[in-house]
Chains A and B, each alone.
Chain A
Amino acid sequence: GENVEQHPSTLSVQEGDSAVIKCTYSDSASNYFPWYKQELGKRPQLIIDIRSNVGEKKDQRIAVTLNKTAKHFSLHITETQPEDSAVYFCAALGANNLFFGTGTRLTVIP
């Protein structure tokens, strides 16, 4: 099955700086890669996703890049704000379901 690895596990940035979270996956057949944000005690929420037919997608301050050859994808958050503080999970679609990374705890320091 699919194996997704995510790093770093924790990330602290100053408000206004950029944050980058990286993930790798193992199954070359995977073609859908969403990112979820989970605040403490709350449900994971989809923030952006990318399909394998594109290399980059942007939505305001958030962007995701995908390198299918290298089997890795990354989340980029620019101009970080305190409300961006949360745990972020990457995921890759296997045969039937999403496989999740272990999460990155992002702390934005005001």
Chain B
Amino acid sequence: GAGVSQSPRYKVAKRGQDVALRCDPISGHVSLFWYQQALGQGPEFLTYFQNEAQLDKSGLPSDRFFAERPEGSVSTLKIQRTQQEDSAVYLCASSLTGQGNYGYTFGSGTRLTVV
């Protein structure tokens, strides 16, 4: 597609509920990144894929967070047993190269609110 598409745009989850956030990157983009953006803060790195391989997941805050990109295109970020501190905007970005040094194109994000 023309841009990075994320769904849903908004998600309200009850504490303890599992959620799945979807990212559809720009076609042909090798790299895919997930970031977490708390209110008033900069994006914080969560995880990075190069094609289908998850090369870095050092930013995932706990083992409740899991991401996959099984066919090297669409990616899903799953959060199990959501907690209030998980409330944030989750941004997906893709980049043409494997080095990320041609800039990211971000999606519009999913705003997750845990109540």
A residues lining the B interface (CB < 8 Å): 6, 31-32, 34, 36, 42-46, 49, 51, 89, 93, 95-103
**Cβ–Cβ < 8 Å partners of B55 in chain A:** 96
The reply to whether A43 and B103 form a contact with Cβ atoms under 8 Å apart is: no
Interface stretch (choices B18-26, B39-47, B63-71): B39-47
How many Å from the CB of B36 to the closest CB on chain A?
11
How many Å from the CB of A74 to the closest CB on chain B?
17
B77 at interface (Cβ–Cβ under 8 A)? no
B residues lining the A interface (CB < 8 Å): 33, 35, 40-45, 48, 55-56, 91, 99-101, 103-109
Q: Can you name 29 A-B residue pairings with CB atoms under 8 Å?
A: A6-B42, A31-B101, A32-B100, A32-B101, A34-B103, A36-B106, A43-B91, A43-B108, A44-B43, A44-B91, A44-B106, A45-B106, A46-B103, A46-B105, A49-B103, A89-B43, A95-B56, A96-B48, A96-B100, A97-B48, A97-B56, A98-B45, A98-B100, A99-B45, A100-B43, A100-B44, A101-B42, A102-B42, A103-B40
CA distance A99 to B91 in the complex (A): 14
The reply to whether A98 and B104 form a contact with Cβ atoms under 8 Å apart is: yes
How many Å from the CB of B8 to the closest CB on chain A?
15
**Cβ–Cβ < 8 Å partners of B103 in chain A:** 34, 46, 49
**Which listed residue (B33, B41, B99, B107) contacts A102, Cβ 8 A?**
B41
**Cβ–Cβ < 8 Å partners of A103 in chain B:** 40-42
**Which listed residue (B56, B101, B107, B109) contacts A51, Cβ 8 A?**
B101
CA distance A89 to B106 in the complex (A): 13
CA distance A97 to B40 in the complex (A): 21
CA distance A97 to B95 in the complex (A): 10
Q: Which residue of B lies closest to A102 (CB)?
A: B42
CA distance A101 to B40 in the complex (A): 11
The reply to whether B33 and A97 form a contact with Cβ atoms under 8 Å apart is: yes
Contacts A43-B109, A46-B103, A96-B56 known; 12 new A-B pairs at CB < 8 A:
A6-B42, A32-B101, A34-B103, A43-B106, A46-B104, A89-B42, A93-B99, A93-B101, A96-B48, A101-B42, A102-B41, A103-B41
